């Protein structure tokens, strides 16, 4: 027993020496596996990161979050998308007053503008919202206070800054009480929001200025309709009920029958997350397919080189057989060579994949999660590829006739 274990270790040494003798070729052979495994690791890490961040977003927003968009409107029987919004601030009030399952409603208008404070300026998105906004988004004011209902009613020129905007315009941290100019309209800064970080798409959520929607409509965008309603149901279990109530109220207000096409659309946070989760899954499947193909191609590369190697070393095989190597020894030697190439390639690929994931995380600010499962799995697949594609050349070597092999030039 001892001697057979020792003989296996001898044969592995023989295989390692053969790899070391042809460093460049060994590297090129392993490259296919390196790239394949690296791809799998990085892709799975990105996919997991996306899934995780979607979960985080759901948890952060709460599962009772609903968005109401103006949707396709029907004109003379033809369904068409229109840039004219069909939602009004009165719709928001009606929903809040008439829907028991709805806790908060915030009309929302979006705009983008350059914000100027003294010598500094910063291009950002302007969100015109209602006073319920911090409650709906569970987003507290870190410094100062949010604007009031009175500010909304009077279209007061007040603004609450996101952390990123505040940091860029007021590096000394004294934002509250200062004046910023947006499209030449002076706004008084009443508060700064808590830092929220990136969202699931990697966008900085703190790069925003929040102002009363009335002010934004009147002073900045000139719009008369609102872009979207952000709604919060009383609880997660009442999201569906709230959606039904909103549907009824809006149909009544917009004079659309129960069977007519609605001129608005609703998305609960769960639906959004599901849709994005599906996208992430599809993307991940696609990338895994590509990675699997590249692993397969890598395996063929190994087989190709091993076949060349067997032919090239026919003489060597003959010598080994003449001095007592059994077919099994030769088989193991070549199989071991192939598996070593695959496993070392797999190891380098894992390192490369993790490295790539970290780079993506750092520079693209994507959330990335490298799981031990994906590492173990791709390692296992690499070893399997080595055995699978190494077996045929190894068997070919093992079946050589020593007399012919010794005579081979």
Partner 1 sequence: MPDKVIEIHGLTKVYSMGEVEVRALAGVDLLVDVGEFIAVMGPSGSGKSTLMNILGCLDRPTNGTYKLDGIDVSTLDRDERAVIRNAKIGFVFQSFNLLARTSAVENVELPLIYGDLGWSREERHKAAMNALQRVGLKGREHNHPSQLSGGQQQRVAIARALVTDPAMLLADEPTGNLDSRTSEEIMGIFQSLNDSGKTVVLITHEPDIAQHAKRVVTVRDGLIQHDEQVKQLRVNASGIAAPAAPVPVEATR
Burial of 376 (0-12, 13-18, 19+ CB in 10 A): exposed
Based on the shown chain and the rule CB under 8 A, indicate whether residue 361 belongs to the binding site for partner 1. Answer: no
| Binds partner 1 by CB under 8 A, chosen from 153, 183, 326, 362 | 326
- Return d(Cα 63, Cα 45) in angstroms, integer: 25
* Sign of the CA dihedral running 83, 84, 89, 92: negative
Residues between 205 and 264 that touch partner 1 (CB under 8 A): none
User: Which region among 107-115, 233-241, 265-273, 325-333 touches partner 1 (by CB under 8 A)?
Assistant: 325-333
Residue with tokens 């027993």, as numbered in its chain? 1
User: Which region among 75-83, 220-228, 245-253, 321-329 touches partner 1 (by CB under 8 A)?
Assistant: 321-329
Q: To 10 degrees, the CA torsion angle through 105, 110, 114, 118?
A: -10
Based on the shown chain and the rule CB under 8 A, indicate whether residue 96 belongs to the binding site for partner 1. Answer: no
| Binds partner 1 by CB under 8 A, chosen from 202, 223, 402, 408 | 402
User: Which region among 23-31, 158-166, 257-265, 318-326 touches partner 1 (by CB under 8 A)?
Assistant: 318-326
Residue with tokens 């990105």, as numbered in its chain? 46
User: Which region among 221-229, 252-260, 274-282, 312-320 touches partner 1 (by CB under 8 A)?
Assistant: 312-320
**Does residue 183 sit in helix, strand or coil?**
coil
Q: Count of CB atoms within 10 A of residue 10's CB?
A: 13
Based on the shown chain and the rule CB under 8 A, indicate whether residue 406 belongs to the binding site for partner 1. Answer: yes
| Binds partner 1 by CB under 8 A, chosen from 67, 135, 287, 319 | 319
Is the CB of 9 or the CB of 75 nearer to partner 1?
9
Q: How far is CA 30 from CA 11, 222, 238, 291, 343, in A?
A: 21, 62, 56, 15, 9
Based on the shown chain and the rule CB under 8 A, indicate whether residue 44 belongs to the binding site for partner 1. Answer: no
| Binds partner 1 by CB under 8 A, chosen from 100, 118, 171, 327 | 327
Q: How far is CA 318 from CA 10, 233, 310, 312, 335, in A?
A: 18, 80, 11, 12, 17
Helices (H) and strands (E) in the chain, counts: 13, 12
Based on the shown chain and the rule CB under 8 A, indicate whether residue 157 belongs to the binding site for partner 1. Answer: no
Is the CB of 332 or the CB of 341 nearer to partner 1?
332
* Closest distance of CB 2 from partner 1, Å: 6
| 66 Cβ contact list (under 8 Å, min separation 6) | 230, 231, 232, 233, 239, 242, 243, 246, 266, 267, 268, 269
Is the CB of 78 or the CB of 323 nearer to partner 1?
323
Based on the shown chain and the rule CB under 8 A, indicate whether residue 21 belongs to the binding site for partner 1. Answer: yes
* Closest distance of CB 16 from partner 1, Å: 13
For helices 327-363 and 23-61, angle between their N-to-C axes, nearest 10 degrees: 40
Based on the shown chain and the rule CB under 8 A, indicate whether residue 11 belongs to the binding site for partner 1. Answer: yes
| Binds partner 1 by CB under 8 A, chosen from 17, 79, 183, 362 | 17
User: Which region among 4-12, 74-82, 250-258, 283-291 touches partner 1 (by CB under 8 A)?
Assistant: 4-12
User: Which region among 245-253, 359-367, 387-395, 398-406 touches partner 1 (by CB under 8 A)?
Assistant: 398-406
Residue with tokens 């032919």, as numbered in its chain? 311
- Footprint of partner 1 (CB under 8 A): 2-3, 6-7, 10-11, 14, 17, 21, 315-316, 318-329, 402-403, 406
């Amino acid at each position: 027993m001892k001697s057979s274990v020792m003989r296996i270790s001898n044969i592995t040494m023989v295989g390692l020496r053969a790899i070391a003798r042809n460093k460049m070729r060994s590297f090129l052979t392993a490259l296919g596996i390196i790239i394949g495994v690296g791809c799998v690791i990085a892709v799975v890490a990105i996919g997991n990161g996306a899934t995780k961040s979607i979960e985080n977003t759901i948890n952060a927003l709460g599962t009772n979050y609903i968005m109401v968009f103006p949707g396709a409107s029907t004109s003379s029987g033809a369904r068409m998308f229109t840039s004219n919004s069909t939602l009004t601030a009165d719709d928001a009030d009606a929903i809040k007053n008439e829907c028991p399952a709805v806790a908060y409603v915030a009309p929302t208008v979006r705009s983008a503008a350059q914000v100027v404070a003294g010598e500094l300026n910063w291009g950002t998105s302007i969100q015109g919202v209602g006073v319920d906004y911090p409650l709906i988004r569970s987003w507290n004011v870190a410094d100062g206070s949010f604007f009031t209902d009175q500010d909304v009613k009077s279209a007061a020129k007040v603004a609450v800054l996101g952390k990123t905007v505040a940091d860029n315009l007021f590096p000394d941290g004294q934002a509250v009480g200062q004046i910023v100019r947006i499209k030449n309209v002076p706004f008084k800064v009443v508060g700064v929001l808590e830092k929220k970080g990136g969202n699931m798409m990697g966008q900085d959520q703190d790069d925003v200025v929040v102002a009363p929607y009335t002010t934004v409509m009147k002073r900045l965008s000139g719009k008369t309709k609102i872009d979207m309603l952000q709604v919060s149901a009383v609880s997660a279990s009442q999201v569906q009920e709230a959606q039904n109530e909103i549907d009824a109220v809006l149909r009544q207000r917009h004079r659309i029958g129960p069977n007519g096409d609605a001129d608005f659309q609703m998305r609960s946070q769960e639906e959004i997350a599901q849709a994005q989760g599906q996208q992430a899954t599809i993307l991940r499947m696609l990338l895994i397919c590509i990675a699997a193909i590249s692993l397969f191609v890598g395996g063929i590369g190994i087989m190709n080189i091993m076949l060349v190697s067997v032919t090239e070393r026919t003489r060597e095989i003959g010598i080994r057989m003449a001095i007592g190597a059994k077919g099994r020894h030769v088989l193991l030697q070549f199989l071991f060579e192939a598996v070593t190439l695959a496993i070392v390639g797999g190891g380098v690929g894992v390192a490369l994949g993790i490295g790539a994931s970290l780079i993506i995380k750092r520079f693209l600010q994507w959330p990335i999660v490298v799981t031990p499962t994906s590492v173990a799995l791709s390692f296992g697949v690499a070893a399997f590829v080595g055995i699978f594609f190494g077996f045929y050349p190894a068997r070919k070597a093992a079946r050589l006739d020593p007399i012919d092999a010794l005579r081979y030039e």
